[in-house]
Amino acid sequence: MVKHLIGVNSSTAGIDYSPLLIVLCNIPLLIPARKILSHEFAYKTFITTLLMTIILFIFDNFIDPSYKFSIMQVPVITEAEGGVGTRLISAIIGGALCGVTLAFSLKVNASTGGADIVGAILQKKNPHKSIAVMIFAVNSVILLISIFVYREQLLPVLLSIIYIYTSTKICDAILQGGKSGLKFEVITEHAQEISDEIIEKLGHGVTVCPAEGMFEHKNRSLLICIIKPRQIAKFQNIISKYPDTFAYVGQVNEIYGKFNKDTK
């Protein structure tokens, strides 16, 4: 959008200096990020954006000067040169690589710049939200605004949606960890029976806490159990035998230690 507003045309002959806009556009974002997030975050993000600028400068000018693999440019490309199929694959692979890069950047208190900075700031204000989802929301707003640039050719916008969706899913998967689960909390008068079935059929332990229902002031038990996502149907079959039982489930992003029998 900045290139459109200032009249930069990357498809013209000669050296394309437009990747320098990455650094220039990130500086105004890094100033508040330094104060709201941390000095370390701002410094590491600046280094990351600087490296990205260098890589894109080399790619745009020496590796792919005709933009065959670009999802954002709209030069005339024939099917023999790659066409839409090449750019679609670029969107998917590029999104996956960006998701990996972003996830590991966030793990070391950095980001890849741009919408990631805004997303990190918003996530700090809303800590219950996933940072990858916040970044996706910011990118979506940017894409909607960018329609005024691509109003005659919306393919780059559609490819960008694929790109940011792929990067968000990959980033979220890495940040949440490969060992995830579901946490059930069950309010019941049949603690022993349900616990026995969970241990026997699912191979998971159960923590039991005393509880009191405030409607009728009856003594009940609170069962806490973490299971694998693929076991949810079996778990529901167990608790469905007890119609007076109340249960709710939440996502557990990462699990440490041993939480099931080796035989299950």
The domain spans of the chain are 2-176, 181-252
Q: What integer pLDDT is reported at residue 178 of this predicted model?
A: 57
Q: Which tokens in the block code for residue 232?
A: 């949810």
Q: Find where tokens 């640039």 sit.
A: 149
Integer Cα distance of 31 and 122 in angstroms? 15
Residues 157/131/181/187 CA torsion (nearest 10 deg)? -120
Three-class secondary structure of residue 205 per DSSP? coil
Q: What is the DSSP letter of 61?
A: I
Specify whether domain 181-252 bears CATH 3.40.50.2000. no
Mean pLDDT (the chain) is 84
182: phi then psi, degrees, rounded to nearest 5: -120, 135
117-150 residue pLDDT tens: 999 998 888 877 778 888 889 999 998 888 888 8
Q: Name the percent of the chain lying above pLDDT 70.
A: 86
Report the C-alpha gap between 210 and 229 in whole angstroms: 26
Tokens of residue 39, six digits? 């000095």
- Give the whole-angstrom CA distance, residue 241 versus residue 226: 19
pLDDT recorded at residue 138? 92
Q: For strand 218-227 and strand 207-213, is the pairing parallel, antiparallel, or unpaired?
A: antiparallel
Long-range (24+ apart) CB contacts under 8 A made by 214-219 are 218/189
- What is residue 194's predicted lDDT score, i.e. its pLDDT? 94
Q: Flag residues of the chain having pLDDT under 70.
A: 8-13, 72-83, 177-180, 253-254, 256-264
Q: Measuring CA to CA, how many Å separate 115 from each of 98, 140, 157, 160? A: 13, 10, 16, 13
pLDDT score of 33: 92
Q: Kindly report, residue by residue over 74-114, the tens digit of the pLDDT.
A: 544 444 445 678 888 989 999 999 999 988 888 888 998 99
**Dist CA 264 CA 260 (whole Å):** 7
